[in-house]
Amino acid sequence: MLLYSAYLYDQDLDSYNVNLPFLVHSCGKVSVNCGKNLNTDRQNGRKDFQIIYIHQGKGHFILDNREVVLDEGCTVLYYPYEIQQYFFRYSENAQFYWLHFSGNDIPGLLREAGLDRQIIDTGMASYIPALFEGIIRELSMKQPGYLQIANLKSQELVWLLAREARKQASRNRNGYNAEMEEILEFIHQNYYQDLVIEQLARCYGTSTSWFIKEFSRYTGLTPKKYINEVRLNHAKELLSSTNYNISKISNVCGFENPLYFSRYFQKHYHMAPSEYRDMGKRQLNI
C-alpha cells in the first residue's frame, strides 16, 4: 500500500477547538497494491467530517448494514460520529483520496453545496485529483500562508465536487450531456483531421479511460469506432458523387492510409470501395 498524506501541525488529530468556518485537518492519497487490502472499521466514527473520492478501481462500503460497491468517480461523505466501515482490494487496483475537515457550520455548507448525502456521483473531472494533490502539498511544505491556502483549496474542492455532481445528475436524469455533444460536434466538423482520443479526453476534462467509458455509454460506440463511422459516411458520399480515386478519398476523409481505408470499408460493408462505387453507378443506369 502506498500512502501519500499530510496533516495540519503534523498530527493526525480528530478535532480542533477552534471557531472557524472551515478548517482542513488532513489530506491524503492511498494506492492499494503490493498484495495487501486496506480495511477500515471505525465503529464510533470520527469527530470530524471526511470525504473519500475513488479515483481508480472500486471501493467497498458497509452502509445500512449492507455492502455497497462504488466505482471510480464516486465520492463518499462521512459526518462526525458516523460508523465508518470500508475496504479497498489490491486486486482491483484501487486508489482513492481522502480529506478530513471541520468548521462551525459544515452541515450548512454541505446543504448549500448540495452535498448533504452520503454517496455522491461526482464523475472523473481531471482537476479533482489535482486539487487533492494541491492540498497535500500545502500541508506538507507548510510555506507561509499554507493553512489559508489549504483551507481555500479544500473549500474549492467541496464546491467543485458539488458542480460535478450536478452535471452527473443532469446527465443521468435526462440522458443529455452538453459537454459530450460538444465533443461530437467537434468530431463531425473535424473528422478529416488526426483526432487523438487523449486530446478529446482532455477537452472533456477527464482521464482517457473514463472518457472512453462515458463516450461509449453515451453513443454506443467507442470514440475510435464513432470517428471511423463519420469518416465512412463521408467516404460513401464521395464515392457516389465524385471521381476521386480511393487514395484521395482516404486522405480527404482522414483515414491513416488507403489500404487501411479499403480494409475497414470492406469489413464494414462487405464490399470494396470500388465495388460500392460501381454498384451506385449501376443503380443510376437502371
What's the pLDDT at 163? Answer: 92
Buried b (16+ CB within 10 A) or exposed e, 235-249: bbebbeeeeeebeeb
Q: pLDDT, tens digit, for every residue of 201-220?
A: 998 888 888 899 989 988 98
Q: What is d(CA 105, CA 115) in angstroms, rounded to the nearest whole number?
A: 14
| Nearest Cα residue to 236 out of 207, 210, 261, 211 | 261
User: Mind listing the pLDDT tens digit of every residue in the chain (286 residues)?
Assistant: 678 899 998 888 888 877 889 999 999 999 998 778 999 999 999 999 999 999 999 999 999 999 999 999 999 999 999 999 999 999 999 999 999 999 999 999 999 999 988 999 998 888 899 999 999 999 999 999 999 999 999 999 999 999 999 888 877 777 778 889 999 999 999 999 999 999 999 988 888 888 999 899 889 899 999 999 999 999 999 998 899 999 999 999 999 899 999 999 999 999 999 999 888 666 545 4
The answer to whether 44 and 9 are in contact (CB under 8 A) is no
Considering the domain 177-286 in this protein, what is its CATH number?
A: 1.10.10.60
Backbone angles phi, psi at 56, to 5 degrees: -155, 145
Report CA 244 to chain centroid distance, whole Å: 42
Q: Where in the chain is the domain with CATH 1.10.10.60?
A: 177-286
Q: Where in the chain is the domain with CATH 2.60.120.280?
A: 2-174
What's the pLDDT at 286? Answer: 44
Measured between alpha carbons, how far is residue 37 from residues 119, 158, 211, 227 in Å?
A: 22, 28, 28, 40
Q: What is d(CA 22, CA 154) in angstroms, rounded to the nearest whole number?
A: 9
The answer to whether 92 and 57 are in contact (CB under 8 A) is yes
What's the pLDDT at 130? Answer: 93
Buried b (16+ CB within 10 A) or exposed e, 136-153: bbbbbeeeeebbebbbbb
What's the pLDDT at 282? Answer: 61
What's the pLDDT at 168? Answer: 85
The answer to whether 281 and 239 are in contact (CB under 8 A) is no
Q: Is CATH 2.60.40.290 correct for 2-174? A: no
Q: What is d(CA 212, CA 209) in angstroms, rounded to the nearest whole number?
A: 5
